[in-house]
Amino acid sequence: MEESNEKILMTSDHVDIIVERLCHQLIETYENFEETCIIGIQAKGVLLANLLHQRLLDILNIPKIEYGKLDITFYRDDFRTSNKIMTANRTEIDFYLEKKNVILVDDVVYTGRTIQAALTALNHYGRPKRVELLALVDRRFNRHLPIKTDYVGMRVDALDHIYVKVNLEESQTREVLLLADETR
């Protein structure tokens, strides 16, 4: 029998509980979201942002919370250093961020470089009043930049060679795995 090199950190039920908790934390801070928007970072942050956005609409019983999807491909500091061709996703933000509270959403915060790129990309849509970071998983001991999460589902202390894989696809079982190597 072959030994698995992965550990399940969150099951689908656990992800649902965390999404519910995060929504209530956001409601405590932003109440009805009149001056607040949610921006998911393409591609996997959008999957979490979709779950949050829909659940917030259901809880608050309101017709709209401004919501967008942000691609950061060409803002990354490693854009030109990669040996593989990077494929951009589509940015979908049809409103200005000027003087708004922005909840920036990603699945995993690791080195902080993705968040740095996202903050740079956000500048094209106005100057937000405030930006807060929400992540499903925070790998807190691996930062290269002084970035911190404001809302977090789970904090994971893992060595650099460990990979956190988040699966939030609606058609599949949602889970978060800790892999013992960098197999992605």
- pLDDT tens per residue, range 42-87: 988 999 999 999 999 999 999 999 999 999 988 876 655 567 777 7
* Tens digit of each residue's pLDDT (9 = 90 or more) over 111-121: 999 999 999 99
C-alpha distances out from residue 31 to 26, 62, 137, 170, Å: 8, 11, 24, 27
| Alpha helical stretches, state H, 123-170 | none
- Give pTM, 2 decimals: 0.87
